[in-house]
Amino acid sequence: MNQLLKATIYVALYISIYLTGCGASDGDTVTESMQPSSGESVTMNGMSPTTQNPNNGSGDGTPITDTPGDTPAPQTGDQTPTEPVDTEPMPVPNPEDEVCSEGQERVDGACIPTDLDDVIDPAILQALVGTYAVQMKIAMIQEVPILGEMENVSTVYGFTEISEDGEGGVVMVERGCGARSSTGDAINVVIPSAIPRSVTPPVTPLNVWEENGIIHWSRPEVVVPIGIRLDDPVNDALPSDPNDPRIWDQDGDGAPGVTVNVMGFASGDLYIIQKQVSSEHGILNEAGEMEGFVVDNSLQVTIGGTNPLLNQQIPTRPNPDGSLSTLRSTKMAADRDCDWLLENQNQLFPENN
């Protein structure tokens, strides 16, 4: 195997399990091309990337489980597609260019008022509450042997539900459905459905305010441990020792961490652990849809595998151009599932928009 092929495989293997509570049914798997088949599988071109840059995250909390001793819960810091609306788009603040105004401070990539009101205006609540189909693009830089630095853009699809918290505010629940990546054509990556089923979706308080007639929102940083139990998920580092007692078989397949199946020029299973670390911020546009940016600082460690060629650590970091990591959405008029979203992704999110 030549070095170029090895480098291509290294890029493909640096994946992230964004699927949190939505995906294939029991006994199914998630693989590459993202073409769902009824009752069988959902396929994709890899998952959103992660970075091996430690010391990210904020907030605290302790893992909780669906059943005692099982699933660690995420930790937080503190139908029919809608028809396109032919209006001039609202300006979404570019995270690279924005300077916080007086009376604001930068928190998790967003400029937030320092005197944010805990009680949201009822008209804003009515406009914001609902379920959205979401597309996120996450841009990363990977340091690939031989080839050097390479850009990677992963596209993630899922549902976001915003509901009232009973105290005048709102909370956000995010459920992933699938993803594709702009790199990694040399191999197929299979994400067993046991992984998304084993993760409790985050329930996160949402910061909301109005500025110059535009509704702004910010979802604080969320930390989700995958395949490992951490006493302090925000501050505890991921171990490199595959025998660390905190590593557990989250997907129940008998191997440590979670198992990713790789098929192609090099085939085998990879055992990985992760800390998914991300925040989001943006506006509610004139069409009533959420749009904005994603700040992703996730961490991943490969702890083993059945093929030495695949058992690699690839340094990865967020693309310094934060405007490339974007979020788009369509507010849903009826309940839909992940299969429907993946089947209709091109109609919901045309690539030329």
Contact indicator for 163, 171 with CB cutoff of 8 Å: yes
- Helix (H), strand (E), coil (C) string for 270-282: EEEEEEEEEEEEE
Is residue 59, in this structure, part of any structural domain at all?
yes
- Give tens-digit pLDDT for 27-65: 444 444 344 433 333 333 333 333 333 333 333 333 333
Is residue 353, in this structure, part of any structural domain at all?
no
How many structural domains are present in the chain? 1
Is residue 184, in this structure, part of any structural domain at all?
yes
Is residue 217, in this structure, part of any structural domain at all?
yes
Q: Give the bridge partners for 327, in sequence order.
A: 136, 292
Distance CA(109)–CA(153), nearest Å, equals 19
Domain range for 95 is: 3-347
Is residue 352, in this structure, part of any structural domain at all?
no
Is residue 224, in this structure, part of any structural domain at all?
yes
Phi/psi region, residue 131 (left: phi>0; alpha: psi -120 to 50; beta: rest), is beta
- Report the predicted TM-score, pTM, of the whole model to 2 decimal places: 0.72
Band of the pLDDT at 185, cuts 50, 70, 90? low
- Give tens-digit pLDDT for 127-145: 999 999 999 998 988 776 6
